[in-house]
Amino acid sequence: MYLALLAGGQILKRIIKKTLGLSDERGLNLFEFEEINRKELRRQILSIVNGLDLSRHQKDAIIKEKIRVFEMNNALARNIKPSWQSYQRLAVISFAVFAAISVSLYCLFKYLN
């Protein structure tokens, strides 16, 4: 989860703040990382996790818990009632992603030809 927050936390923070109509930063501290080297922290976390000596039972328990958390997150997401404004933002974000991919593909094909 921490790796996900490091990778896309600022984007998620903005989306959550706008979607829920929050006027301040309360409740969004989860997405704040003060003056850290995110790449180095990510590398350290992965190194530590990959270096753990876990039994098959422990690995199965971790997988079971991850599935449970995923299901709980999905249940939470299903209960959020987005506003019309959030659908508009989603459309704008989708268009921006589509445009970025289209431009990237155009440049790639132009470069290859």
Token output for 14: 């903005």
Map 26-64 to HEC letters: CCCHHHCCCCCCHHHHHHHHHHHHHCCCCCHHHHHHHHH
pLDDT in tens, 77-107: 777 776 777 777 777 778 777 777 777 777 7
Which amino acid does the sequence have at 103?
V
What residue ranges do the domains of the chain occupy? 2-82, 83-113
Amino acid (1-letter code) at residue 111 = Y
Q: Is the pLDDT of residue 113 over 60?
A: no
pLDDT for the residue numbered 57: 93
Residue 7 has pLDDT above 60, yes or no: yes
CB contact burial 40-77 (16+ within 10 A = b; e otherwise): eeeeeeeeeeeeeeeeeeeeeeeeeeeeeeeeeeeeee
